[in-house]
Copies of this chain bind each other. A is one copy, B any other.
Amino acid sequence: MQIILGSQSPRRRELMAGLDLPFTAITIDADETYPAELQAGDIPYYISRVKARAYESQLTDDQLLITADTIVWLEGRMLGKPHNEAEALAMLKQLRNKTHQVYTAVTLAQKGREPETFVDCTDVTFGDLTDEEIAHYVHTYRPLDKAGAYGVQEWIGYVACIGMKGSYFNVMGFPVHLVYQALKKRGF
């Protein structure tokens, strides 16, 4: 059996590599729009399944596909990937001094089998950040590819993340312990 990780995120590839199981990483292009009525964890649930469906038909009998999607959820609203530096600055100003949720969904797909999806949630508390600190981070690290405009394994995670409840790896990329358990159940 061959594991295919359908994600271009270097963090997810790093987590997957840490499981000591051989895998191939690919990039899947999928439409990430979702029904407006979806809330919180239902959003990445939906998108991770869309990503799996976009590649599913190409799977052979001996392949398992893993897709994932992460969102940041702040007080009833979703923060996606910022479109530009101004949006990134604004997102981080919203996140400081508050607790938000990071939801990551993972979908496992095999040929001729209904895809399996699970969602993990981590509470992340940000302490205070000055406007200057936020500007330093955005200009130096350019977090435009990251939900909520931050990477927890980067400078801003080091200085701002004052508390967490749940899985750190879920915030970094995906809930690797759940991926491992699901792969184990399938005989990997």
Q: Using a CB–CB distance below 8 Å, which chain A residues touch chain B?
A: 15, 18-20, 127, 140, 154-155, 157-169, 176-177, 180
Contact = CB atoms under 8 A, between A and B. Distances in A.
B155 A161 contact: no
Copies of this protein chain in the complex: 2
A165 B19 CA distance: 23
B165 A177 contact: no
Contact of A127 (B127, B163, B177): B177
B167 A167 contact: no
Given A20-B140, A140-B20, A176 B158 contact: yes
A162 B167 contact: yes
A20 B159 CA distance: 11
Contacts of A168: 161, 164, 168
Given A19-B155, A158-B177, 10 more contacts: A19-B158, A20-B140, A127-B177, A158-B180, A159-B180, A160-B177, A161-B167, A162-B167, A164-B168, A168-B168
Contacts of A167: 161-164
Contacts of A164: 164-168
A15 B158 CA distance: 8
